[in-house]
Amino acid sequence: MTDVTAAAGAHGYFQAQARWRWLEIVFWLATLLPFVLTPSYLVLASQIAITALFALALDLILGYAGLISLGHAAFFGFGAYTAGLISKWGWGEPLSGLLLAGIAAALLGYATSFIIVRVSHLALIMITLGLCLLLHEAANRAGWLTGGDDGLQGVTMWRLFGRFEWDLYGYTAYAYSLAVLFVLFLLARRIIHSPFGLTLRGIRENAGRMQAVGAPTRRRLRVIYTISAAVAGVAGGVLAQTTQFVALETLSFQRSAEVLVILVLGGAGRLYGAIIGAVIFLIARDQFSGINPQFWYFWIGLLLVVVVTLLPNGILGGLAQLLAQQRRKKSS
Amino acid sequence: MNAVPASGPALRARGLSKNFGSLAVARNINLELPQGARYALIGPNGAGKTTLINLLTGTLQPAAGQIFIYDQEITALKPDARVKRGLVRTFQINTLFPNLTPLEAVALVICERRGDAPVWWRPLPHYRAAIDQAFDLLSKLMLDNVCHVPTRELAYGQQRLLEIALALATEPRVLLLDEPAAGVPREESGKLFNAISALPSDITVLFIEHDMDIVFRFATRIIVMVAGAILLEGSPEEVANNPQVREVYLGGKQHG
Amino acid sequence: MLAHFLGVLIDGPAYGMLLFLLSVGLSVTLGMMNFVNLAHGSFAMLGGYVSVSLAQGANWPFFATLPAAFVASALVSVLFERVLYRRLYRATDLDQCLLTIGIVFMSVAAAAYFFGTMQQPANVPLGLRGYVTFLGIDIGRYRLFLIVIALIITVGLVAGLEYTRFGAKVRAAVDNQRMARGLGINVDGLFGITFALGSGLAGLGGALAIDMVGLDPNFALKFLVFFLIVVAVGGLGSIGGTLAAAMLLGISDTASKYYVPELGAFVLYAVMVGLLMWRPQGLFGKRQ
């Protein structure tokens, strides 16, 4: 291989990574299917889109930057309550309300990022968990503001773009959720394939070496943490707006643990893992909801144990490994 | 890097001291490296060589003393700021990015150096110059044929070369190599030797080594450290013939 | 007001000592192997259910169920350690969290399946019910019993750590694992034994806890947070730190329940977050 073609191979490598694959295009087209194929499940489809967005937010810090958080629902719930309250207090325009929810969550994320990036290991786990518990407890006690255990009621949204009514079947809701998911997915994709995205992976792989080559690791982590908080907040906001209700459990540890399970199930660090995980998890839960809820907990627990011991990179990671093995067999 | 013409010794340390409790790991260390130097730092295990590197790079804070790079004081600077001033180190134990390919790793460092790292809105393929530089650097170190292999799958010798590549990608002025040949088998050390001798002559290099072949091959001057202090500094012949050095290394008896 | 104060004075330390018993194992094993075992609460819960089963199903006296709870939890923990935990000693924090969360979920479901979701009744023997009057203050007999037994165990633990060879090895391994291995200490085997002891203590704590805080399938999750707070605040691997943090937590939680019930656990979480921000290694932990 001559020098020119070898160097071109280097460029080609990065180009290939950033390029849209046909499978991706097929996937996104398929997300339109529920409108025609399963219109009675549009509400579920909305939930999936919202959860996928939340998991995507977590992937940005967990999968790409390597920050573990047991309390990401703090931003999800904070965004949800912000969007809900803005509407309840009279401003029911969806998009601007959503923007404000994202900004509010971003501010919270920015403020907490200063301490988050300074700790690791158990302290990191406990602080992320503690902040979530704190917010949950505060929301629980401030019933005059949040409705406490009963949740926030009285959220009424104006028509989307002044034209689309929020119908009971969920057409508008799903279109809205899907559009928001897609736009923020594009943003996440952009970040991942940029130099900034590469530095995040470097920090995840070896933060010490990043410092030793001159990277201000804490500053970088603060940025991605803030972005992640904003995206999670937007996801919560969409939930509040499409269901016109905010439950206290949006701030719960259960919510944080669930999104973590979903991300790991699908495969962290792969962007699509968040979405695939959400699809599988929520559809499965919907199908099994008739059965005793204890069974559900048991099987999820077992699944976690299995995934961690046998499939550490989640479903997408396992598939990728399988493909790589097939390729190796073919070439040998 | 800096446009200001460099003056003074490339690296100077004055009175560096450090204690861990009652254990003195660095005692009043004075050190001066002129530009383009190839100095070796040797000494028995526990002499404090890596500690000295850590003090120089800012990983450890000294109890006393100052550090200058081209007469600019850097004692108060954080490690990443010192890298920006041109002071870079490698690690004795491979400190790499296991799941990144050598190309990604080196490109990462180059983007960091060029200030492109905070950019999140433009895709990597846009940065053609950085990618070209990364590939060139890897070629110089004979890693171009494995530049797409994840680091954790590389042979140990190749990882050791990548260890140096990452440091070189920062375009350092002063390079501290911590046992670059550590653990590299004889058959693969040739490439390593080439890499070290191919280092640009305007870079100042201080390397810790136990392998005396490398020391006597590449070093123009040797610093000997024992128990946290500098025992002596001199040319290779001076050091080889010094009775104190012999005693420290061989326990007083001379073998051949 | 005075009644509140006296209530806090007795209930607080009792709760604190209980939390100590429940958390000390987690602190030592986290400090020794850096293994994040979120299923610690499950082992405690197991001890509780073993005690209940033996007392109700086989009519064992209360005091006999306590060592049984200890042994059961210890044995089960050995099983888990051999089969699962051992494979993840060098895994990431995340993987350890996920594995152990999975075990918690399974244990919660299993407990609900076998025992139902109701609170289990405590089987406190007649001798420990009611009050003892001391200087005009009514002190719950069971609370007193808890404090005494926890103190005995604490003294035993501290003495064991300080004066036995086993204890010395444990301290060395917690302080510097690599060096301990270098000195020829079999850290992996040591961890197995320590883990069993810690889980056994948790099981014992679970059995003792029934009368104080109740037992239902959610015990493992609900109290996990408290154990983690105690361990994080106290500092990994430090028995003194765990004791201090457990007492701090127990007393302040009891006090806030008496004096400012409308704030709930908010104060607790705020104190923890604040403390970790100031000292991430906990009160008595080593700096990472």
| A121 to C228: CB separation less than 8 angstroms, yes or no | no
User: How confident is residue C287, by pLDDT bands cut at 50, 70 and 90?
Assistant: low
| B117 to A195: CB separation less than 8 angstroms, yes or no | yes
What amino acid is encoded at B37 in this protein? A
At residue B252, the pLDDT reads 41
**Which residue numbers of A have CB closer than 8 Å to B's CBs?**
3, 6-7, 9-11, 13-15, 17-18, 190-191, 193-199, 201-202, 205-206, 208-209, 211-217, 220, 223
Is chain C in touch with chain A: ≥3 Cβ pairs within 8 A? yes
C206: containing domain: 2-278
Q: Could you say which of A190, A208, A211 has the minimum Cβ distance to residue B121?
A: A190
In a domain, A49, yes or no: yes
Beta bridge partners of B222: B40, B234
Phi, psi of A227 (to 5 degrees): -60, -45
CA-based nearest residue in chain C for residue A257: C101
Q: What is the pLDDT of residues A154-172, one digit of tens each?
A: 888 888 888 888 887 788 9
Q: Could you say which of C97, C104, C109 has the minimum Cβ distance to residue A125?
A: C97
Find the length of chain C.
288
Percentages (nearest 5) of helix, strand, coil residues in chain C: 75, 5, 20
In a domain, A319, yes or no: no
In a domain, C285, yes or no: no
Q: Could you say which of A137, A260, A312 has the minimum Cβ distance to residue C264?
A: A137
Weakest-pLDDT range from A74-88, C21-35, C102-116: C21-35
**Looking at the domain that runs over B11-250, which CATH code has it been given?**
3.40.50.300
ipTM: 0.88
CA distance A203 to A196: 11
Q: Report the 3 state secondary structure along A156-209.
A: CCCCECCCECCCCCCHHHHHHHHHHHHHHHHHHHHHHCCHHHHHHHHHHHHHHH
Q: Is the pLDDT of residue C116 over 90?
A: no
Q: Looking at beta carbons, which residues of chain A come within 8 Å of C116?
A: none
Instruction: List all chains that touch chain A, counting a touch as 3 or more CB pairs closer than 8 Å.
Output: B, C
Q: Looking at beta carbons, which residues of chain A come within 8 Å of C266?
A: 134, 137-138, 141
Q: What is the pLDDT of residues A48-94, one digit of tens each?
A: 999 999 999 999 999 999 899 999 999 999 999 999 999 999 888 99
In a domain, A70, yes or no: yes
Instruction: List all chains that touch chain B, counting a touch as 3 or more CB pairs closer than 8 Å.
Output: A
Provide the domain count of chain A: 1
At residue B253, the pLDDT reads 40
Q: Looking at beta carbons, which residues of chain A come within 8 Å of B107?
A: 14, 198
Beta bridge partners of B203: none
A18 contacts A193 by C-beta, under 8 angstroms: yes
In a domain, A268, yes or no: no
Kindly calculate the radius of gyration of chain C based on its CA atoms and give it in whole angstroms: 19
CA-based nearest residue in chain A for residue C267: A134
CA-based nearest residue in chain C for residue A129: C225
At residue A181, the pLDDT reads 97
User: E strands, chain C, where?
Assistant: 131-134, 137-140
Running DSSP on this structure, what letter comes out for residue C280?
T
At residue B1, the pLDDT reads 47
In a domain, A316, yes or no: no
At residue B256, the pLDDT reads 39
Tell me how close the Cα of B70 comes to any Cα of chain A, in angstroms.
19
Q: Looking at beta carbons, which residues of chain A come within 8 Å of C94?
A: 62, 68, 264
Q: Is the pLDDT of residue C208 over 70?
A: yes
Mean pLDDT of A23-48: 91
pLDDT, chain B, mean? 88
Tokens of A192: 């991942």
A180: containing domain: 26-250
In a domain, A71, yes or no: yes
CA distance A64 to A270: 8
At residue B4, the pLDDT reads 53
Provide the domain count of chain C: 1
Tell me how close the Cα of C265 comes to any Cα of chain A, in angstroms.
7
| B128 to A11: CB separation less than 8 angstroms, yes or no | yes
At residue C28, the pLDDT reads 85
Domain ranges of chain B: 11-250
Mean pLDDT of A268-283: 93
Instruction: List all chains that touch chain C, counting a touch as 3 or more CB pairs closer than 8 Å.
Output: A
Residues of chain B with pLDDT under 70: 1-7, 250-256
A&B contacts, CB < 8 Å? 122
Q: Report the 3 state secondary structure along C233-262.
A: HHCCCCHHHHHHHHHHHHHHHHHHHHHCHH
At residue C10, the pLDDT reads 82
Mean pLDDT of A90-112: 94
